Structure 1
Amino acid sequence: MTEAELSSLPPGTQVITRADAAAFLTDPDRQLYLAPFLQREVTLSAAARELALPLGRVHYWAGRLVQLDLLRVTRAAPRAGRAVRHYTATAPAFFVPFALTAAETVAAQITHDQEVRQRHLSAAHARALGQLPPGHGQLIERMPETDEGLRIRSVPEGAPGTPLLSTWLERPYRHADALALRADLDALAKRYAALPEPDEGDARTYCLRLALAPM
């Protein structure tokens, strides 16, 4: 990578050079195992609780991450019996050059990544809906607010008070308005991502997907 390209990455980003590490990091089903260790130090037990996965599975994938030089042991806290190891990612962020991926085109890479994530999101959406409400289906309409563009959404969208949303919108925007929309959506996502970690209780993990592209 050129100096200019490197300067656009977050400070401390590790540029991946190993094909096996690139394959791991670009696999949506395996990326999640790295998440608890980014920019912090945690035990495998804490990581397993965060991921809501069995400790044995997290232990296996942590070992794989160590082999790929994506994870390292920071310290071993003594205790009666076996010491408790703490782990952290080897960098605060990782960059995988496209040339190191298995995809033949950028479109193929994006399609693969989004198909997997969309499948997970769709399954979660269906679980939240539970049994299909009477009259459930898709509503295709013009935007009632402006009478411009096409909106597609599921109706009904679950029981009242259910934090569930699924909407597709296609409509024309001026370039400046599209840039403003992108900034607003980005700011909204960052604001909610920065909320304090909730206490145990009614807290659940939610999936949010924002996307914008010219047609």
Structure 2
Amino acid sequence: MTVTFPLPPIRHATAAQAALLLDVTLRALLGRLMTTPSTVTEVALMLKVSPNRAQYLVGKLQRADIAVVTAVEPRAGRALRRYGVTPRWFIPFEVTGADTLDAFLAAQLIPRVTRMMMLTARQMQEHTDTWGYWLEQHDVTGSNLRLGNGDGQGSDLFAGVAPLMANVATLTLSARQAQELKARLIALFDDFGSPEAGGEAHSVAVLLVRGKVD
């Protein structure tokens, strides 16, 4: 008979736990164990790593009291254990070791932005081999720096039907307009939040903040 152990609905992280919970290399494993308590063998198959590597990763989370045994299934020889992770954690800024709130945010954003730039470059290279920047006079901002190839600004890729955008823009907005833009962006994400059969992953990053980024 399988013995199960329920997970608490929410936990607050210690400093040691925060370091692992915010480790981007563990995100796939944490996501799996939060949604589907799994055996080490199942983890190895999901991550496409060796059983020894999977055991090491799960053990790392278990020693930090992040992953816990949620079920024990008796069988001949050694019992089969399933490991799970509480599905909701609060990770206080104060326990992360970051010196500033800027550094706290950057630690999570920069690796993801770097990955998105790699994916962007890959899609650009598939389109054409020659790329650079166009620096041009602009009536409003004084100058614009845009990606493009030798024939122009790459509008056939960035403004065409290909699912690729790489824009940084400065808009002059009233408080009302900024609120409306935020609401529209949230609604847009909601509209496209349900996956369709046969779809593939697309990464989208949106930042809206007061101030100018040159």
1:71-125 deviation line (CA, Å, top 9, x unaligned): 2222245678766543321x22111111101111101221232222211221222
Following TM superposition, by how much is the alpha carbon of 1:140 offset from its aligned partner in structure 2, in angstroms?
6.1
Following TM superposition, by how much is the alpha carbon of 1:148 offset from its aligned partner in structure 2, in angstroms?
6.3
Call closer, same or farther: CA 1:178–1:13 in 2, change over 3 Å: farther
Call closer, same or farther: CA 1:96–1:142 in 2, change over 3 Å: farther
Q: Partners in 2 of 1:186 and 1:152 — Cα distance?
A: 28
Following TM superposition, by how much is the alpha carbon of 1:34 offset from its aligned partner in structure 2, in angstroms?
0.8
TM (normalized to structure 2)?
0.71
1:112-139 deviation line (CA, Å, top 9, x unaligned): 3222221122122222333571552345
Call closer, same or farther: CA 1:141–1:176 in 2, change over 3 Å: farther
User: In angstroms, what is the RMSD of aligned CA positions?
Assistant: 3.5
1:120-179 deviation line (CA, Å, top 9, x unaligned): 221222223335715523456799xxx867876544337x76432221111111112212
Q: Partners in 1 of 2:22 and 2:144 — Cα distance?
A: 32
Q: Partners in 1 of 2:118 and 2:194 — Cα distance?
A: 26
AA aligned to 1:88 is G
Q: Partners in 2 of 1:33 and 1:95 — Cα distance?
A: 18
How many aligned positions are there?
Answer: 194
Q: Partners in 1 of 2:178 and 2:113 — Cα distance?
A: 24
Structure 1, 60-69 or 128-137: larger mean CA deviation: 128-137
Q: Partners in 1 of 2:40 and 2:191 — Cα distance?
A: 29
Which residue pairs with 1:7 in the alignment? none
Where structure 1 has 5 or more consecutive residues not aligned to the other structure, the ranges are 1-10
Larger-gyration structure (1/2)? 2
Query: 1:44, 1:55 within 8 Å by CA — same for their partners in 2?
Result: no
Call closer, same or farther: CA 1:173–1:161 in 2, change over 3 Å: closer
Query: 1:148, 1:171 within 8 Å by CA — same for their partners in 2?
Result: no
Query: 1:19, 1:101 within 8 Å by CA — same for their partners in 2?
Result: yes
1:25 to 8, 18, 21: 21
1:37 to 30, 33, 39: 33
Alignment of 1:1-215 (within 5 A): 12-16=9-13, 18-48=14-44, 50-51=46-47, 53-56=48-51, 57-77=53-73, 84-89=80-85, 91-130=86-125, 133-138=128-133, 154-155=147-148, 156=154, 157=157, 162-195=162-195, 198=197, 203-215=199-211
Q: Partners in 1 of 2:144 and 2:32 — Cα distance?
A: 37
Call closer, same or farther: CA 1:127–1:39 in 2, change over 3 Å: same
Which residue pairs with 1:8 in the alignment? none
Q: Partners in 2 of 1:127 and 1:80 — Cα distance?
A: 50
AA aligned to 2:210 is P
Following TM superposition, by how much is the alpha carbon of 1:12 offset from its aligned partner in structure 2, in angstroms?
3.5
